[in-house]
A and B are shown apart, each in its own frame.
Chain A
C-alpha cells in the first residue's frame, strides 16, 4: 500500500443479523481524488461510509483511513476525516456559529485556529448571512452547508459526504458542486449519491455498488465506455405521409421489422422506441466488440425497406448504472444462501465463469482493486 492511498478497504463485509449489507468489497481511494460512490438505495453506500467513519464496525475485512486501521486507531481515523451524514443531522437548538465552535472544540482547535478556519469555511460554504441564526430556522440547503462546514472546520485531508445534495434545489446543487470542486483540490473526497449528473459534474472516478457488491470501479470515461454494451437506434419507414415511398413494395409491418432485427447476429436486446406513425423505431443493444451497423444496413437493403435513422452510441453513465444495478435482484442476500456465486468472490473476482451481465460488466471495467491485491501479496 503506497502512502498516497488515503482510504483502503479490503474484503469488507458487514452483516446486519442475517442480512448481508456488504459482501467482500474492495476499493482504494488515493490522495486528491474525488470519488463518486454510486448505487441505488439500500446498496450499501451509507453502510460503507459509516464503517469508514467508525460509526459501525465491519463484520470482517480490513479498513484503513489515512493509514490508520478503523479497529486499532479509530480516534486517529476520525481525526483525519470530516464526515457529513445523510440529511445533515445537526443540533437544531444551536446557532450556526455555536455549532461550528462545538465541532472545533471537539477537534481540539484553539481559539486562533478556529477563527482562521471558521472565516475560510464560512466563506466557502456561504454561511456569512446565517451565522447567528439557530439551525432549526434554516432551510435544508443551509443545513447541508452547515454540515459541510463542520466537516471542513479542522481542514481534514479526507472528506466523506453521504448524499450531500439530496435535499438541495437545483441551484443549490450546482453551487454545492462548485464548492466541492474548490475544496476537493487538495483533499480526498468520497461522496455518495444516486444522482449521476452530480458525479459527472464533479468526480473523475466512480465506484458503483449494488446489493452490497462493487459492480464497477474506475474513471468515468472507462465505466461509460467499457460497460460491455453498445446501443443502436434504428428507424424504418412505416407509412407514406407526405413524401413518396422510396422502398420496394409496401412499407413493412411492425412484426416483420421486429422479427428481422431480432434475428440479426449479435443483438442482445431489442426494445421498441415510441414514435409517431411514420416509422418503426427500435433500440438494439450489442456487445462492445460487435458492430451491428453493417448487418442492419444489409438487412434493410435486402428487404428493400427505407432506413430513416441508424446510429450507434456509447452508453451514457445512466444506462451503465441501470444495466449494472438492475437485474441483480435474483441474488439472495440472506446469509447461508451463498451458492456458487459466493465461491467466485473468493477468487478475487478473477474467475470468469459467472455469466451474469452484471459480473461481466464489472469485470470489464477498470479494477485498481486488482493491482492492490497484487501489492498485498
Chain B
C-alpha cells in the first residue's frame, strides 16, 4: 500500500512538474466552456436544443454529456500514455521494477496517479455550476441531485477509462502508439453506441449497447444512478488492471 502511494506521488509530481498537466487541465476547461455555452447540441434524448442560453432551463446536462468524450479523446490518453509506455521506452521502468516493489504496486500506483489527475480536472468543472448557480451569479435554482449523479457517473467513467488507457500503455513501448490505441478504442466504443441506436431494438442492438461506454454513462448524465452501470464501469477497470499487470509480468517470460 505504501509503495502504491510512493509511486503515485512520484508520477503526479512528474506530471505537475511538466507542462502536460497544465495544458491538459487548462485546455479541457476552456473547451468544455466553449462547448457548454456556445455550441448548439442535442439533449440526452437526442432532441436538438442549442447552447446553454437557448435551453431556458437550469440544468448541467450538457456538461455531463460532453465531459466523457473530452476525457476520452484528449485527457485520459495524454495522461496514461506516460504511465508505462514512456517508462518502458526510456528504460526507467527497469529501475523501478528492480526496486523491492510488487508488479501490482507499480500498476496500482500508476493507476492512482492517472485517476487523481483526471479527478482533479473533474473537480475543477464544479466551478461551472458553482459560478452559475451559487456565487457570483444566480441564474436560477439548480436541482443538485442530477448534478451529483452526473459527477458520480464521471468518476466511474474515469475509473474505467483510465484503466483502458493504462492497459494500452502497458502493451506498448511507445507513448504515441499508446495514445492512439487508447483514443481509437474510445472512438470505437462511442461508435458502438451510435450503431446500437441505428438498430432500434433487437438482441444485436442490446448487445452492442451493453458494451458501449456511452450508453452506460447516459443514465448518469440524466441523473439516474444505475447499479448495472456501476458494476459495468468497475468491472472494466478491474479487467484492464489485471491485463496491465499480466502484461507487465510478461516481460519476464518474453
> Which of B97-105, B139-147, B189-197, B235-243 touches A?
B97-105
Query: Which single member of B6, B97, B254 contacts A102 (CB below 8 Å)?
Result: B6
Query: Which single member of B10, B90, B252 contacts A89 (CB below 8 Å)?
Result: B90
Q: Which residues of A lie under 8 Å from residue B92 when comparing CB positions?
A: 89-91
The 0/1 profile, CB within 8 Å of B marked 1, for residues 67-86 of chain A is 00000000110110001011
A57 and B10 form a contact (CB under 8 A): no
> Once bound together, how far apart are the Cα atoms of A345 and B101, in whole Å?
36
- Smallest CB-CB separation from B249: which chain A residue? A57
> Once bound together, how far apart are the Cα atoms of A322 and B99, in whole Å?
36
B94 and A106 form a contact (CB under 8 A): no
B98 and A75 form a contact (CB under 8 A): no
For residue B251, CB closer than 8 A to chain A, the reply is: yes
For residue A54, CB closer than 8 A to chain B, the reply is: yes
**Does more than half of chain B's interface fall in helix, strand or loop, or is it mixed?**
helix
For residue A107, CB closer than 8 A to chain B, the reply is: yes
A residues 51-104 with Cβ under 8 Å of B? 53-57, 75-76, 78-79, 83, 85-87, 89-94, 98, 102-103
- Smallest CB-CB separation from B15: which chain A residue? A93
- Nearest CB of A to B128, in Å: 32
A78 and B99 form a contact (CB under 8 A): yes
For residue B3, CB closer than 8 A to chain A, the reply is: yes
For residue A105, CB closer than 8 A to chain B, the reply is: yes
For residue B14, CB closer than 8 A to chain A, the reply is: yes
A93 and B97 form a contact (CB under 8 A): no
For residue B227, CB closer than 8 A to chain A, the reply is: no
A85 and B101 form a contact (CB under 8 A): no
Q: Which residues of B lie under 8 Å from residue A98 when comparing CB positions?
A: 13
Given contacts A85-B95, A89-B92, A102-B10, A57 and B253 within 8 Å (CB-CB): yes
- Smallest CB-CB separation from A54: which chain B residue? B98
How many chain A residues touch the partner (CB < 8 A)? Answer: 31
> Once bound together, how far apart are the Cα atoms of A90 and B94, in whole Å?
10
The 0/1 profile, CB within 8 Å of B marked 1, for residues 196-238 of chain A is 0000000000000000000000000000000000000000000
A106 and B6 form a contact (CB under 8 A): yes
B253 and A94 form a contact (CB under 8 A): no
A55 and B254 form a contact (CB under 8 A): no
> Once bound together, how far apart are the Cα atoms of A149 and B47, in whole Å?
63
Q: Which residues of B lie under 8 Å from residue A106 when comparing CB positions?
A: 3, 6-7, 99-101
A103 and B94 form a contact (CB under 8 A): no
Interface residues of A (CB under 8 A from B): 16-17, 50, 53-57, 75-76, 78-79, 83, 85-87, 89-94, 98, 102-103, 105-108, 147, 150
A/B interface sample: 20 pairs, CB < 8 A:
A17-B254, A54-B97, A55-B97, A55-B251, A55-B252, A56-B252, A57-B253, A75-B102, A78-B99, A78-B101, A79-B100, A89-B91, A89-B92, A91-B14, A91-B92, A94-B13, A106-B3, A106-B100, A107-B99, A150-B95
Task: Give the 8 A-B residue pairs with the shortest CB-CB distance, closest first.
Answer: A89-B91, A57-B252, A78-B100, A53-B98, A79-B100, A106-B99, A105-B6, A89-B92
